[in-house]
Chain A
Amino acid sequence: MSAYFSSALGITWRYLHNLYTRPAMFIPSLLFPLFFLAAFAGGLSAVGDAPNFDYYDFTAFQFCFILLQASALAGVFAGFSIAADFEQGMGRRMMLATRPRSAIVLGYGIGAAARLGVTWTVVTGVALLGGMKVSGGGLDLAGMYSLALLSNVAALLFSAGIALRFRSLQAGPLMQMPVFIILFLAPVYVPQALLTGWIEPVASANPVTALLDAARSLMAGEPTGILAAYAVAFGMIAVLGIWAITGLRRAETAG
């Protein structure tokens, strides 16, 4: 068992070392959420004045979306690294050195979660500097960040499933686009009650909506739908975990 975790942590260390010694890799992933935070919270703040927009602070409203988005994309970027390692042959060497091989996915998973520390600190710091008001208490905020962590794990497992099946960076758009799309099909700009047209039923059926609504309620200090959000998050992780492990089996079969 200790060999299993030792392998996983070795992969985590390698992943984080590669990430933080190559600014070209981690700076874009840091700038991306900041860019969206500035564009949405800055450019759309007047939307908070629309009738029936009943959230207490527009920047905080957008921050919750950006937090989930940044966390999920950190998982996707770890998927890129898996694909790159397999493309360059490193993946095969990892396969030879680890057993059971799920330690590979676990290692990248821990790495993807660990990089969140920097992302959360920067995004939260910039939002606070930008005047974001926080209404939730410590426990509420812990709940909100843990939902973001679960979205990171789900996105990592999804991307790992793709990366291990294709074992090429060319599959990058297949990892990124679905995550991007599902995030934007949630109530990004306004509460769900203010959505109109086709996006309203789509957002209702979108599992990310439950996470986003719960995160926003925790930020406001008025938690609602928390159990449902955690159930959705763990459900997604269970399904995507199977997706990632079957991807690993495919990679094993391919040699």
Chain B
Amino acid sequence: MAGRSVVRLVRQPAAVVPSVIFPLFLLAVNTGGLNSATQIPGFPTDSYITFALGFTFIQAAIFSTMNAGQALAQDIENGFFSRLMLTPMRPSALMAGQLAGLVMLGQMQALLYIAVGYATGAQFEAGFAGIVVLAVLVSIISVGFGGIGLIMALRTGSGEAVQGMFPLMFVLLFFSSMALPRDLIEQDWFRFLATINPVSYLIEAIRSLMIVGWDPEALALGFGIAIILAVATIASAAYTLRGRMLKS
């Protein structure tokens, strides 16, 4: 199943390329447009690309929600999932297989974004060890958001419904500390939303590796939220899968 998931991604560039390119486009636009924000007193770095790069990883991971859900929904729609249910395959193996391609894509995206970051002058204060930590964090986040896609696919069995989650994901991204540090957000209501939005802490964990180096609090919050998200969504997806298996 893992091999199939990876091959499927490789064979469907039209499904993968937008989730790789779109975050880079937004990074380029935001970096060019918001570079003057680094002159705001209290901005943590003088390089906006260093600040914005962390958001790119999260954006890519969130987009992968759609990829994971879409793939499973397609299997349900074309009957492949029902045929799988007739085999002795364990549900956990099915989910791990679905997520394998996603984790691989997440790693490739992380490498690409780090390369783009270095090429465009981004700093990476935490060095090589920081890149390893970043890769681990991105994998956990990919599994977490991929799990949301699986839940949606299992509940609805419809690719269209999975795609319908896109606006919600967009809201999660934009109402976070993606563009400015939370303490520099002037509007109270927006700062409140960014503070209760878990995506802010995921972005800030990655951002801390680039700007500060090793910030235990930011990393603990980022890893904590990523692990809770991954465990919660996978457990929920497993529960939903059992229900669907009984129906099949």
Binding site for B on A (CB under 8 A): 28, 31-32, 35-36, 38-39, 42-47, 49-53, 173, 181, 184-185, 187-190, 194-200
How close is B49's CB to chain A, nearest CB, in angstroms?
9
User: Judging by beta carbons under 8 Å apart, are A199 and B187 in contact?
Assistant: no
Q: For the complex, what is the distance from the CA of A36 to the CA of B171, rounded to whole Å?
A: 9
User: Judging by beta carbons under 8 Å apart, are A43 and B194 in contact?
Assistant: yes
The yes or no answer to B167 lying at the interface (CB within 8 A) is yes
| Nearest residue, chain B, Cβ from A185 | B29
User: Judging by beta carbons under 8 Å apart, are B194 and A196 in contact?
Assistant: no
Cβ < 8 Å to A, chain B residues 139-159: none
User: Judging by beta carbons under 8 Å apart, are B33 and A35 in contact?
Assistant: no
CB-CB under 8 A from B30, the residues of chain A are: 189
Binding site for A on B (CB under 8 A): 18, 25-26, 28-37, 39-40, 167, 170-171, 174-175, 178-180, 184-187, 189-190, 194
| Nearest residue, chain B, Cβ from A187 | B33
User: Judging by beta carbons under 8 Å apart, are A28 and B167 in contact?
Assistant: yes
How close is B153's CB to chain A, nearest CB, in angstroms?
20
User: Judging by beta carbons under 8 Å apart, are A44 and B179 in contact?
Assistant: yes
B178, B187, B190: residue with the most chain A Cβ atoms closer than 10 Å: B187
CB-CB under 8 A from B31, the residues of chain A are: 197
How close is B195's CB to chain A, nearest CB, in angstroms?
12
Q: What are 11 A-B interface contacts by the 8 Å CB criterion?
A: A28-B167, A38-B175, A39-B175, A43-B187, A44-B179, A47-B180, A53-B36, A184-B25, A195-B35, A198-B32, A199-B28
Q: For the complex, what is the distance from the CA of A200 to the CA of B33, rounded to whole Å?
A: 8
| Nearest residue, chain A, Cβ from B33 | A189
CB-CB under 8 A from B194, the residues of chain A are: 43
CB-CB under 8 A from B36, the residues of chain A are: 47, 50-53, 190, 194, 196
User: Judging by beta carbons under 8 Å apart, are A35 and B174 in contact?
Assistant: yes
Q: For the complex, what is the distance from the CA of A187 to the CA of B210, rounded to whole Å?
A: 27
A49, A181, A189: residue with the most chain B Cβ atoms closer than 10 Å: A189
| Nearest residue, chain B, Cβ from A188 | B33
User: Judging by beta carbons under 8 Å apart, are A47 and B167 in contact?
Assistant: no
A39, A181, A199: residue with the most chain B Cβ atoms closer than 10 Å: A39
Q: For the complex, what is the distance from the CA of A32 to the CA of B18, rounded to whole Å?
A: 20
Question: In the complex, given contacts A44-B180, A53-B36, A184-B26, what are 20 additional A-B residue pairs having Cβ atoms less than 8 angstroms apart?
Answer: A32-B167, A35-B170, A38-B190, A42-B189, A43-B180, A43-B194, A44-B34, A44-B179, A46-B40, A46-B184, A47-B37, A50-B39, A51-B39, A52-B36, A181-B25, A184-B29, A194-B36, A195-B35, A197-B32, A199-B29
